[in-house]
Amino acid sequence: MIPVIQELEDRCRRMLAQAREQAAAEVRAAEREAEEELRRAREELPLAMERRHQEEVARLQDGLPAGGREPEELARRAEANLEKAAAAIVAKVWAVDG
């Protein structure tokens, strides 16, 4: 009876080792996928923010009446604020550690 129990224990140990190896492989694959997604986000975010920035500047400029200093100053401030916001977002993305 003892050899049967030992065989069963050995089989259970092998199955447990296989399960651990499979889980470790799945974790490594998930880590690689997350790293790739973060890399893509780091590449795409500045482009998306620049596009959004240009759209917002164009929208502001389209809404300004011709002439007058005050609207031009507002547009410059808005553009500066958008640039700061974009830089802050990009900095946050780059600050993420894997």
What is the Cα 87 distance to its own chain's centre? 15
Beta strand segments in the chain, E:
none
pLDDT tens digits, 68-85: 556 677 777 878 888 888
Total domain count, the chain: 1
| Threshold 0.85, pTM exceeds | no
pLDDT tens digits, 27-72: 999 999 988 988 888 888 888 888 888 888 777 777 666 555 566 7
Domain assignment of residue 91, given as a range: 2-95
